[in-house]
Structure 1
Amino acid sequence: MSFSKVAFVAAETEAAQAALPRLLAHYPHVPPEEADVIVALGGDGFMLETLHRWIDRRVPIYGMNRGTVGFLMNVFREHGLQERLARAEAVRLHPLRMRARLADGSDIEALAINEVSLFRETRQAAKIRIRIDGKARLEELVCDGILVATPAGSTAYNLSAHGPIVPLGSGILALTPISAFRPRRWRGALLPDHASVAFEVLEADKRPVSAVADYTEARDVARVEVSRAADLTLTLLFDPEHSLEERILAEQFLP
């Protein structure tokens, strides 16, 4: 890959802000609005923010870890950046599109790169009907919540909720319950990524539910539809020796 216009953005953390001026002094750069690649300094949360902020530009994002876990980031090194960008491998992802109908009849639409999650808002468990491509697959799930995760997001909250790790390129979404009470033995499902998922909130007045697409929240939802945003493509760049696909594979063999 060849990039002539590089932009740098950084999280507000001390480590990211300390790295930013060193890179700006070392490399020619342009504003993100003019760049053909954006270098993001921070952690996974900042990478998600950067992807969301510049999603309409469809510009590749190369992350360098100045955060904690850095699952979506490359190792930070001050030197050799142009060579690393030239060697980088592209991973293309489609986000999820959430359409939420609220109890008052209004609608909220948002995009999720990791997952769309539903959560109970009160002490009482949520009751949710699940439809896949219009067909009711589970008439009533009693739970703390439920989520739909992309392969890239399957190692995030989905994994913490005991959902499966999904390889990149598998064409699969993970449907994972959060603290399911009934049916007790239901552990979730794997869905083709072209599936349309609808959640209908039962007894919404008594058991209110919120929906979250990455970090966009809709309160008091009545119905939530989730589908792949096939019209949007996100491009992440990774060093060949530190690919996202390898990290997702390796995560499945950690003790």
Structure 2
Amino acid sequence: MGDKERESAPPPRRLALFASPTPRGQEVAAVVRGTAEWCALEEADIVVVIGGDGTMLDALHHMIRTGRVRPVYGVNAGTVGFLMNRYHRSMNIIERLHHARSIAVSPLAVEAVMQGGDTHCVYAINELSLLRETRQTAKIEISVNGRVRIAELAGDGVLLATPVGSTAYNFSASGPILPLDSQMLALTPISPFRPRRWKGAILPDRSRVTFRVLEPDKRPVSAVADQTELRNIAEVRLAIAREREMTLLFDPGHALDERIVAEQFAH
């Protein structure tokens, strides 16, 4: 992934607003809206996202689907706001954007093959997780770069996380937190039963990972790519989509890489 921090954000030009529909999101949006001139999302050079991390993921996925990804500056009007900047009622959005630092991140390209043979291609900015659909333990074969590394993982499932997503579900599943510039992916089992001692792996982000569901009729598995769920999975193939690189903007001293380091020392 290389050096993720660049000298500065591009000078503010045409701005669009993407706000959470929650009461708090709309309240903050009303304040921010009065600090600048705005245009339609498809005409913008920079997108200001107001809400929580879920709203940020919604905005990024919307831009990936439409094929025009612009730099994004988040304003926290949610709970955690890991991908967002702090909100102050007196904030000047133009000044914030002028001084913002940029960080480039790339999502996972997910190619999911269903039990019926259909294929769905989606993207995961945080992680792709495979989860058992019933009370039956999932059984999953894991391959890396065409070589089988785990012939049969038995448990609730498995996930592959980017550095951006390493502090989310991956961390809750006892996976490692990855620095943004680590050029790594976290492969983490979810409540594993066998092999009992396997705690996961850290892989170079050039790796291609394949999950194959074993005994799918008896042990159905779903795939969740951020907020997109696909059920009755046969196989999932994953790789970093460098051609879909995205730029996140942060206030100086409030950058995402610093938050990732700080998260490892949180009590």
Specify the TM-score bucket, using the shorter chain as the normaliser: over 0.9
Alignment of 1:1-255 (within 5 A): 1-55=10-64, 56-78=67-89, 79-255=91-267
- Given residue 85 of structure 2, which amino acid in structure 1 is its aligned partner? N
How many residues align? The count is 255
CA distance in 1, matches of 2:88, 2:13: 19
CA distance in 2, matches of 1:20, 1:64: 9
Task: Return 5+ residue gaps in structure 1 as ranges.
Answer: none
Q: Deviations along 1:113-143, whole A, 9 cap, x unmatched?
A: 0000000011010111100000000101001
Q: Deviations along 1:133-166, whole A, 9 cap, x unmatched?
A: 0000010100100000000000000000000000
CA distance in 1, matches of 2:142, 2:124: 19
DSSP 3-state at the match of 2:182: coil
Task: Return 5+ residue gaps in structure 2 as ranges.
Answer: 1-9
Identical residues among aligned pairs (%): 52
DSSP 3-state at the match of 1:137: strand
- Given residue 127 of structure 2, which amino acid in structure 1 is its aligned partner? E
- Given residue 6 of structure 1, which amino acid in structure 2 is its aligned partner? L
Measured after TM superposition, the shift of residue 27 of structure 1 is 1.2
Question: Could you tell me the TM-score, scaled by structure 2's length?
Answer: 0.94
Q: Does the 8 Å CA contact 2:213/2:234 hold for their aligned counterparts?
A: yes
CA distance in 2, matches of 1:149, 1:217: 16
Q: Deviations along 1:195-250, whole A, 9 cap, x unmatched?
A: 00001111111100001111111111111111111211111000011010000000
Q: Deviations along 1:22-74, whole A, 9 cap, x unmatched?
A: 22223111111111101000000000000111122120000000000000000
CA distance in 2, matches of 1:135, 1:58: 34
- Given residue 160 of structure 1, which amino acid in structure 2 is its aligned partner? S
- Given residue 140 of structure 1, which amino acid in structure 2 is its aligned partner? E
Measured after TM superposition, the shift of residue 99 of structure 1 is 0.6
Over the residues paired in the alignment, what is the CA RMSD in angstroms? 0.9
Question: Could you tell me the TM-score, scaled by structure 1's length?
Answer: 0.98
CA distance in 2, matches of 1:168, 1:191: 14
CA distance in 1, matches of 2:97, 2:144: 40
CA distance in 2, matches of 1:26, 1:249: 32
Measured after TM superposition, the shift of residue 3 of structure 1 is 1.3
Measured after TM superposition, the shift of residue 6 of structure 1 is 1.0
Q: Deviations along 1:74-120, whole A, 9 cap, x unmatched?
A: 00124321111011111101100111111111111110000000000
CA distance in 2, matches of 1:122, 1:58: 37
